[in-house]
Structure 1
Amino acid sequence: MSKIQKIKGFSDLFSPESTVHTLMENLARQVFGTYGCQEVRVPILEKTELFARSIGEETDVVQKEMYTFADRKGRSLTMRPEATAGVLRAFIESGQCGAEGTTKLFACGPMFRYERPQKGRLRQFHQLDVEVLGTDAPQADAEVVLMLWTFLTKLGLKNLGLELNSLGCPECRPVFHQRLRDFLATIDHTQLCEDCKRRAQTNPLRVLDCKVPACKSLVENAPSIAESLCPGCDEHFAQVRDILDSAKLPYRLNDRLVRGLDYYQRTTFEVVSGEIGAQTAVAGGGRYDGLIKQLGGPDLPGIGFACGMERLALLYGQAQIPAPDFYLAVLDSRALNTALLLAQRMRERGFSGEVSFEARSIKAQMRQANKLGVKTCLILGQDEMEKGQIVVKDMATGVQKNIGQDDLEQALGFRKP
């Protein structure tokens, strides 16, 4: 019978890769918690309408990338392609949107997009996500950017760049859209990719987001959205930049940064790296005032970001997995039960370690101890059993001694809390 293999674009994570993901999640909880974020867990599966209404019908995500299917009752369901829409749906449905003040939420988990798999971009990928809801203050925008940068810095990542832009608001963006349409009417549309030919008519802002070199070249002289910002958006963006300048956080203004989803407005940002191939963005986000209302909630503003964990892992490298404190080798089958109970006692005291489930040669078990990288190997045979003793071997020096089993904790050389 042939073996069953995993689906293309999906991956199995064993240690050390899984350890890197756990480390990132734990650090995220710690850092985001210092900013007042509370963790929320939302379903992987949502009604398709949620993403069509939030992300936008004309986006590549909705048009080509979502895993969508009908359930047994014919309802259209989608595996989440991003986190924000689901978090906001939960925020609205729970009634928390009626509370006063600002709500800060953090989520993590797998997302799904049907794209061509490549380095750092799989069809199942994982994200860390933060949403700050209920305030349109520029200080909130700056705090969100600083929160993201603090997390990445504490993760130890180097050579990152921050890109910043403002996409305007419903008042001033239509003006820019018209200027952009007028510009696009002057270029040779036959040179555009098929997607951009469609976008030029339905959603011209997406043309600026295209990664195809020919399209990027054609829009090099397109108008800048900065020239179309209304006074309110201009002042809002100026305050965000002023705070980041005061915090000495370097950034680059990028008037082509529009992100890939329709719900963004005003402040948008990305953290990029040149060390992971073609997919340079490792994190990004922006403001989405109006989205909560669009999803059936009150007219509350919001801003957030997401980090792609696979891309962060490429930059982070291999995690250093702590070695167990001990390995307990068993030389006589009559000592197996005693060895297991001794190991359990050590674990209850806070030590980590493994114990052999079968009596094997000392040579084979020393190989296992070396493979695990333990500092101490404990050896139990029938002789030690009868005397109530155990052999403690220092794996670095090779020195070993017999001690009483009751003195085992002290013999390991340190105490666990």
Structure 2
Amino acid sequence: MPPFDLPEGDPFGPHNLPYGVFSVGEQADRTVGVRLGDHVLDAGAAAHALGSPYATLLARPSLNPLLAAGRTTWSDVRRALTAWVTVPSHQSAVQEFLHPLSSVTLHLPFEVADYVDFYASENHARNVGHIFRPDAADSLTPNWKHLPIGYHGRSGTVVVSGTDVVRPSGQRKAPSDTEPVFGPSVRLDIEAEVGFVVGVPSVMGSPVALGDFREHVFGLCLLNDWSARDIQAWEYVPLGPFLGKSFATSVSAWITPLDALEEARVAPPERTHELLPYLDDSASGDGPGGYDLRISVSINGHLVSEPPFSTMYWTAAQQLAHMTVNGASLRTGDLYGSGTVSGPSEHERGSLLELTWNGRDTLELPDGKRTFLEDGDVVTLSAWAPGPDGVRVGLGEVTGRVAAGEQPL
């Protein structure tokens, strides 16, 4: 089938056009690509052929220059790309720059600056509270309904989909152990998340307001924040996650621009506590701040969960506002994760910690039972969002295989 003749309802049609970075064959050169169906358009080469002023911006080995260019440029480039793949005269000019997806290598699409991970799902937070504080009067911590809780992660270990994840080693101490031991994690877990990619930086000392979210954030991607629960449990008091999180965070190869997700915008869950002004989005003039994203989690090809992103209590705009309210600056390529996405039902939980209730219950898979991940397991997150005229917007997938770790010294 010719690359422009897409099946009806293709989730990667002209209404989507997510961005990535790819290379062809053995050549080392990487360049910006845009997905159309099962093909990738060399955006820089197409722009050059059509005399676009954005040719230099798009013929780069990373999305960072485009991210930094700002919202006006993002919109202009998107309009141009849409015309190139839908107007017949442009199609004939750019067809030679379309490559089958199966023939290219996809790379980490942007240079990650800083990485922050949040804890924005009330369902997830309540489940974790019930697991670890079963006798508490409230499963949420006292601050949870007042601010988006988060921690600063490690940007250097953010990897693209398809990269193996080596089982980490570290200290752990089970309740029955008298002393900590060192070795590979035995409670390796996933966290089904959505990542938001910052384009335009901000000035240190100047917080980013709720209404400026779309001036700074370019788009989103799927994100799996791998977690070594046994290492995390021993180390996190009193300063929070460290080695139990920093060994790997996987992101999808495609960044979906926010402009492709207008039909997916929804109101977040009803607020139960009055918010301070910098987080109060009750009278936002920018429309609803939530996104209706339908996520699927599979292990070794078997569907285990379908977390709904529309249930997230804290929105991406609120997270950005809180992340900068102390004057912290944004940099091009900053990435922040939503935190584990979990819905109200058991089949909507976004981590094995919840699905197995901290290992108490087994997860039945065709190839055997699981409580946490085993070496060789392949985890895949995929997702879609509602698009125009009932068409789906595909968000691609993020996949990682667990590789055995090195034996401890």
Q: TM-score, normalised by structure 1?
A: 0.21
Higher-strand-fraction structure: 2
Higher-helix-fraction structure: 1
Q: Name the larger-Rg structure.
A: 1
Q: TM-score, normalised by structure 2?
A: 0.21
